[in-house]
């Protein structure tokens, strides 16, 4: 779910967990390539979630995804955590990640996609960099907003309002409250990311993600049994394929890369992934999911993304 632009001009390299050596921050070229890869993968995950929900209830779908990802991340961390650099994460980091960025945020997204088109969900979620910018302004040194940035917030709000009054209203009475619920997902993600950005520079991103995924899986067991104990579950090839893709590519690969980059890149700038992924998600939803794109969809999306650009510009 979750992102953004070029790296900050300077960053303190994270110390190696074992030998204390310093690893250089990634080059601008490498950072740009990894951000592009994240855009492509995360742009496709919204439709993959929709595919999985055709056969699986939402909490079960996200819980199995995180369980598989946690096991895969364990093996990856054992192989690469020392090479990556960074020390063992303090509990604050993985508890925050597991409870907010993973469990809370993704449950909201999955529930929202039971009623909303995947592309539109992605567009609404793209307000994340705006929320990240506000959090950075309040709590992250060196990420203060200037007066001109607030015009970007006005544009973004206008785009969201347009979508609420047109596309969402046309989807039926359930769509508007579901979209309002969805906006809580980027908010809790921004809060969690701020904590990780502020306190996690020297922690291994692989270990943070591994622990967070196990915690998120554990937190979802109770709600799955309580709310979906009698819900129909059909492990069709489509459901299995979507779940494995989301777990191994859309979670292990993306979040391992994302939180590694987060140690070297201004949080709200890395958040620029959020204004590329909606375009990809809208295209994929229309091309392969039969989701409608109206002139209001295009206009609202353009306003939101222009707003994001206005907020995160230098």
Q: What is the DSSP letter of 252?
A: I
| Mean pLDDT of successive 10-residue stretches along the chain, which has 314 residues | 34 34 64 87 96 97 97 90 81 96 97 96 91 85 75 89 94 95 96 90 89 97 96 96 96 84 68 80 95 94 89 69
What pLDDT does residue 8 have?
31
> What are the C-alpha distances in Å from 144 to residues 129, 136, 196, 266, 271?
14, 7, 18, 11, 15
CA distance 269 to 276: 12
What pLDDT does residue 182 have?
97
What are the tokens at 75? 């093996």
CA distance 301 to 287: 17
What pLDDT does residue 48 have?
97
Prediction pTM value: 0.85
Where residue 88 falls (left for φ over 0; alpha for ψ -120 to 50; beta otherwise) is beta
Beta-carbon neighbour count of residue 289 at 10 Å? Answer: 15
What pLDDT does residue 310 have?
82
CA distance 109 to 125: 9
Contact 118, 46 (CB under 8 A): yes
């Amino acid at each position: 779910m979750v992102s953004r632009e070029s790296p900050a001009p300077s960053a303190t390299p994270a110390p190696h967990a074992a030998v204390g050596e310093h690893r250089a921050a990634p080059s601008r070229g490498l950072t740009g390539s990894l951000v592009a890869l994240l855009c492509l993968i995360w742009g496709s995950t919204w439709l993959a979630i929709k595919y999985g929900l055709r056969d699986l209830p939402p909490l079960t779908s996200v819980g199995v995804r995180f369980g598989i990802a946690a096991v895969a991340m364990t093996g990856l961390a054992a192989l690469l955590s020392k090479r990556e650099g960074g020390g063992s994460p303090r509990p604050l980091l993985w508890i925050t990640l597991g409870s907010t960025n993973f469990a809370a945020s993704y449950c909201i997204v999955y529930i929202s996609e039971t009623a909303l088109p995947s592309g539109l969900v992605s567009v609404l979620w793209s307000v994340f960099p705006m929320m990240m910018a506000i959090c950075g302004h309040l709590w992250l040194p060196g990420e203060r907003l200037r007066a001109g940035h607030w015009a970007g917030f006005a544009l973004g709000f206008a785009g969201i309002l347009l979508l609420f009054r047109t596309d969402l209203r046309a989807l039926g009475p359930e769509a508007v409250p579901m979209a309002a619920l969805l906006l809580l997902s980027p908010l809790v993600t921004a809060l969690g990311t701020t904590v990780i950005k502020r306190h996690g520079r020297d922690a291994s991103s692989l270990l943070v993600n591994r622990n967070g995924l196990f915690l998120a899986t554990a937190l979802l067991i109770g709600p799955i049994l309580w709310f979906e104990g009698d819900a129909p579950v059909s492990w069709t090839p489509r459901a299995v394929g979507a779940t494995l893709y989301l777990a191994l590519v859309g979670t292990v690969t993306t979040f391992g890369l994302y939180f590694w980059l987060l140690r070297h890149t201004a949080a709200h700038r890395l958040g620029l992934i959020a204004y590329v992924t909606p375009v990809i998600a809208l295209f994929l939803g229309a091309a392969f999911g039969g989701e409608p794109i109206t002139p209001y969809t295009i206009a609202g999306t353009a306003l939101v993304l222009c707003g994001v650009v206005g907020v995160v510009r230098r």
